């Protein structure tokens, strides 16, 4: 019960990896708020967690909209007493945005950056005061192995997430807030499995990964629990690659 008495906000928490993160935190005693651009999805996901005995709430929120973010964080603090953990998981991703920079339509560029990058700024700024009042907290950003290659529009946005992680870790250190990042490889989330052709996944595993198996959402959950807990109390500003050995870096 590493998170007993803690409160976490998970953006993009209505489904997929975000929901898995919220459920894992709830299992370890955390109250969880699932923020999602789909109100029904957020509330349904929260209801499922409550049925399992968790303290949970679903909140409509477009992370690109500053006022919506501030209202959502205020609602979470009012119900649960504050915020200790923020997981910035909401993102525009997968094949639609995995295009060369000059190929992706400009309106899609703007929307992607508004969500993937500015959304993190909005949520971090909104949660900061509550975390500071509770003697610190943890912000966990979700990047991607694509951010280490950065040949696609999506990859560039996730490169920005890595840089923002470092900048926020520096800015928020005085408030006792740690900021870390996970860069997932291709994992078996429903979104990835339905969007990325199986042939591409298999080729990636065999030709690029050192560990020759499909990545699992469970792999990310374990990394998240470590970085968001006191087990990682001496870690900040870091991006942890969970990609089966790709990419390697020195």
The catalytic site residues sit at 154
**Which one-letter DSSP state was computed for residue 62?**
-
Dihedral over alpha carbons 243, 170, 30, 35 (to 10 degrees): -80
The first and second tokens of residue 235, run together, are 């870690």
Element of type H or E holding 185: none
Helices (H) and strands (E) in the chain, counts: 10, 7
Q: What phi, psi does 235 have (nearest 5°)?
A: -125, 125
- Name the 3-class secondary structure at 32: strand
Token output for 61: 């929120």
Q: Round to whole Å and give the CA distance between 198 and 35.
A: 30
> What is the Cα–Cα distance from 208 to 220, expressed in whole angstroms?
19
Strand ranges across the sheet with 137-142: 56-60, 31-36, 7-11, 85-88, 137-142, 177-184, 239-242
């Amino acid at each position: 019960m590493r998170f007993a008495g803690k409160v976490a906000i998970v953006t993009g928490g209505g489904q997929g990896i975000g929901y898995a993160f919220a459920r894992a935190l709830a299992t370890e005693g955390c109250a969880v708020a699932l923020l999602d651009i789909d109100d029904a999805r957020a509330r349904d996901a929260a209801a499922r967690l409550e049925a399992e005995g968790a303290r949970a709430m679903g909140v409509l929120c477009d992370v690109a909209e500053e006022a919506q973010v501030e209202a959502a964080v205020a609602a979470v603090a009012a119900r649960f007493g504050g915020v200790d953990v923020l997981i910035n998981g909401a993102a525009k991703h997968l094949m639609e945005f995995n295009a060369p920079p000059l190929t992706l339509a400009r309106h899609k560029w703007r929307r992607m950056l508004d969500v993937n990058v500015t959304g993190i700024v909005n949520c971090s700024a909104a949660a900061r005061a509550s975390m500071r009042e509770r003697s610190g907290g943890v912000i966990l950003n979700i990047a991607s192995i694509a951010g280490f290659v950065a040949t696609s529009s999506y990859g560039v946005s996730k490169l920005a997430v890595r840089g923002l992680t470092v900048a926020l870790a520096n800015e928020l250190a005085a408030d006792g807030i740690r900021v870390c990042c996970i860069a997932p490889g291709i994992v078996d989330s429903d979104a990835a499995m339905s969007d990325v052709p199986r042939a591409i996944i298999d080729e990636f595993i065999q030709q690029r990964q050192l560990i020759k198996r499909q990545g699992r959402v469970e792999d990310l959950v374990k990394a998240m629990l470590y970085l968001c807990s006191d087990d990682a109390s001496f870690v900040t500003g870091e991006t942890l690659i969970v990609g089966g050995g790709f990419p390697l870096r020195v």
